[in-house]
Amino acid sequence: MADQARRPHAPTAPAAPPAPDAPTPAAPSRRAEGTARRPAAGSGLYAELHLHLGGAILPNVLHAFMQRSAHPLLRRYPTLERLERHLSRPRRSLDEYLRLHELVESLQRPAERALAYHVSRLVRGAYLFDNLAYMELRHCPLLRTDPALPMSARIDSMPRVVELIARAAAEQSGRFPLVFAQVLCMHSALPDEANAAILELAAAARPAVCAVDLAGPTGPYRARARAFERLFVRARSLGLPTTCHLYETPEGALPRLLPLLDRIGHGVQIPLRHPRLLSSVAKRGQCLEVCPTTYLRTGAMRDYAELRPLLRRCFDAGVDVAICTDNAGLHNVRLPHEYENLLVRDVITIEELARCMTAAFRHAFAWGAPPPPALGRLTAAAAHHHLSGR
């Protein structure tokens, strides 16, 4: 059971004055304990709510690390071009797509040697080139531990993974001041013991960790639905914000989990196949984390235009949508370009673009501040654009 799980010692969080908790645990206002410090005004325009450590790192950074560490994978990918071709080609299914994460995870072990290098360059690039003010980086800490160790030792190693990531981000915060927090992912292929330990670590490691998630292949979801439900009930009892890879595929439709979530990872099957659920999603104040390029890379969609009717149903039902990248490094599509791809293809209007960008800050677990002033100016410009009929 989740409440009897091993409780790994929590890592030391990077120093930051905590902001007050939200007054109620209702979904629209839930915040992680000790939310991250507020950034300087104008320090970024975008909030990234759904980004995996296994897919966030650009191929050139991965290949440079392989060269620095004389990694055995250099024999398979001796050039950057060969690695890029392998990572960027579309896959036929979500399961095939997720195997890319296994390759990157192998480059992020041992954690002591790899994580500081990867996370420091991720934060630097997000601030300088992606114009991010806020980033939630999600990962499964168990998958950054030594797979040769017994499960109990791997669980005991997880807090160090969280600490290394938090420290690497904090060391960059002086030069690249975006607000950074981690989301810990339970995993559909891991045993209940490991998932329960990940949840307990997420609760204990606040404010470095702002939420818990469930990720991995969706095939096992239905057979393990009761176990996953118990885990999210436990998270709610701890006051831990929750998101979940849910309704990404037809197999990933678990309606019993919906009331236990603050946000929904992907959720595109709701407007596509289960539109009757949109009213309850809106009533609970939940936000969909929509990752457009992912659906092209997994074979779920053939064109961005397929998102147009799905997003329209969400907007009409009053459901908030945050546009996210999911795996920006693997896709080589950063967050501003995700928005641009939707705008130039008339998938969303400029008003809806501003609405999605604002929703991302409103539903961010560790932001704890109004949206950046520059986003307010964009919203006002979008409203003027609408009123003038341009």
Total domains in the chain come to 1
Q: Does 248 have pLDDT greater than 90?
A: yes
**In-domain check, residue 19:** no
Mean pLDDT, the chain, whole residue set: 89
**In-domain check, residue 5:** no
Residue 198 and residue 182 in contact, taking contact as beta carbons nearer than 8 Å: no
Q: Which CA distances in Å does 230 have to 75, 210, 318?
A: 44, 20, 29
Give the domain range for residue 253. Answer: 38-387
pLDDT per position as a tens digit, 98-132: 888 899 999 999 999 999 999 999 999 999 999 99
pLDDT at 93: 86
Cis peptide before 147 (omega within 30 of 0): no
Rounded-to-integer distance, Cα 220 and Cα 197, Å: 19
**In-domain check, residue 319:** yes
Confidence of residue 374 (pLDDT cuts 50, 70, 90): confident
Residue 282 and residue 317 in contact, taking contact as beta carbons nearer than 8 Å: yes
**In-domain check, residue 193:** yes
Taking residues 48-54, report their average pLDDT: 97
pLDDT per position as a tens digit, 269-324: 999 999 999 999 999 999 999 999 999 999 899 999 999 999 999 999 999 999 99
Any idea what the Cα angle at residue 381 is, between residues 360 and 336, rounded to 5°? 40
**In-domain check, residue 7:** no
pLDDT per position as a tens digit, 132-175: 999 999 999 999 999 999 999 999 999 999 999 999 999 998 99
**In-domain check, residue 18:** no
Confidence of residue 383 (pLDDT cuts 50, 70, 90): low
**In-domain check, residue 14:** no
**In-domain check, residue 308:** yes
Pairing of strands 132-139, 179-187: parallel
CATH number of the domain to which 371 belongs: 3.20.20.140
In this structure, of 12-16, 91-95, 251-255, the range with the lowest mean pLDDT score is: 12-16
Strand boundaries in 9-141, DSSP class E: 46-52, 132-139
